[in-house]
Amino acid sequence: MNDRMNEWKQHLPDQTIVDIQRGLIQAGLIKDQTLDLMLGNVSHQYAGSLPGAGLAPNPKLLGQLQAMNRVHNLRNGDVPLSQWLTTAVAIAGDHPVADVLDNILLNLSENVAPRPGPAAGVAASVAASAAAPAGGGGHGLMNTDLEFEAMVAGSDDTLSVRYLSGGVQAARSVFKLLVHRHFEGEPEFTTGDTPRLVNGTGWMIGPGLMVTNHHVVNARMRGFVVEADATEADFKLQSENIQILYDYHQVDNPSHIIITGAAALVAANKDLDFAILRLPDGSPERPPLKLRMKLLRKTLAQALGTRVNVLQHPNGNPMRIGFRDNFVTIGDTDLLGYLTDTSSGSSGSPVCDDGWNVAALHAGSQSVSDQNIVIRGRKIKRENFGTPVPTLLATLKDNHPNLHEEILAGQQ
């Protein structure tokens, strides 16, 4: 039996759980109604098992956090604590605790690109973030004084209704992924026979070819705990045992299809954060997404205007689309930055222009606190980023020419 079978204990240190509670108390968010809202994205069946009946709000919150902290994932791949934190960040709004909770959420996830170390205690960080001056992080340049109203004044932001049908068609070629972690050739389990899973998103880049992030397939922690990369053998095993969920658009939808096992890992690049897998024979036929062959370019000096759309499975949830205020912040050979909402599990999503051509492979997020972007009266502090498709294709041309030709032929 795998020595790691029951090694996993909890997501966050006990003190961080206590600090979250204290931060929410400071924010005035410890009320029964608010606590119920924070469980809105958590499986109703699982939420019903959490402590709460007859408890006052403070012990109720602490008990629920402690219980969710001990559950790595449900059998369907859901991570209750991650789902709870995502909702809590939204409810906290502009209060400084929202930034601290968001940083904890970023560091909680194990299927993310490498990030800075964990935040200080929540209670201390709330005070620090309220007092700290703006600046630091990001690109070191500025999108100066950008207000939402100024960006749209005098322009027509309507789209053809074909935009909707194009999105529906593109969604057929985007999938939820569940990666079963392996160590020394053996699959890992949390408790009992519950597999330890990592959520991600993948999409069709060529006929029978799926792409996602390298770090999704790697399935190793890069947050509060930092693990060494998967060995080459374990990486291959994890790629070959990915569960692929087609048409996962609502919870417990019997029409979605599950396929276990990608036939072959055909290309992977840690620096550009991509992995391409050939699907097994008999997989449902889904067309490759249209690829944007030209870079989507934008400098920081240019006003916000161009938008992108991200089809994704945040937190392993049924597919969602981010397309509100999704402005491109920067676009060059190395990176495409954008303001789309994403979460753990969105890694590997296609970042599409308004013609549903994939401009980038979504990879993660970073600070933009020095860009002075204000949308609907709220200063934007983080942006998402991805690997531009033309850069990915150029790398394939240099290192996997046959695969490159196969993908381009599929675009015809």
Q: What is the pLDDT of residue 11?
A: 86
Give the single-character DSSP code of 94.
T
Give the single-character DSSP code of 303.
P
Q: What is the pLDDT of residue 403?
A: 98
How many whole angstroms from its chain centre is CA 154? Answer: 34
**Same CATH fold, 173-288 and 148-163+290-395?**
yes
Q: What is the pLDDT of residue 370?
A: 64
Task: Match domain 173-288 to its CATH number in 1.10.1740.10, 2.40.10.10, 2.102.10.10, 3.20.20.370.
Answer: 2.40.10.10
Q: What is the pLDDT of residue 349?
A: 94
Find the helix or strand (DSSP H, E) in which 59 lies.
helix 57-69
Q: Hey, where are the domains in the chain?
A: 14-131, 148-163+290-395, 173-288
Reference 253, options 51, 74, 4, 76; nearest CA is 76
Question: What are the beta bridge partners of residue 203?
Answer: 174, 211
Amino acid at 89: V
Q: What is the pLDDT of residue 323?
A: 73
Q: What is the pLDDT of residue 137?
A: 46
Tokens representing residue 44 in the block: 């109703």
Q: Can you spell out the DSSP letters for 315-346?
A: GGPSPEEE-SS-BEEEESSS-EEE-----TT-
Reference 325, options 78, 169, 157, 185; nearest CA is 157
Q: What is the pLDDT of residue 320?
A: 87
pLDDT (tens, 9 = 90+) of the chain, 412 residues, equals 445 555 667 888 888 898 898 889 888 888 888 888 899 888 888 898 998 777 898 889 999 999 999 888 888 888 889 889 888 888 887 788 887 887 788 777 654 444 333 334 444 444 444 444 333 345 545 554 444 433 344 456 677 788 889 999 999 999 999 999 999 999 999 877 889 999 999 999 999 999 999 999 999 987 777 889 999 999 999 999 999 999 988 877 767 778 777 778 999 999 999 999 999 988 889 999 999 999 999 988 888 889 999 998 887 888 988 777 788 989 999 999 988 777 777 899 999 999 999 999 999 887 775 677 777 777 777 788 999 999 999 999 999 999 999 999 999 8
Q: What is the pLDDT of residue 257?
A: 77
Q: CA angle at residue 378 from 373 to 384, to 5 degrees?
A: 55
Residues in CB range of 145: below 8 A, 6 or more apart: 372, 374
Contact at 8 Å (CB) between 274 and 213? yes
- The CATH class, in words, for 148-163+290-395 is mainly beta
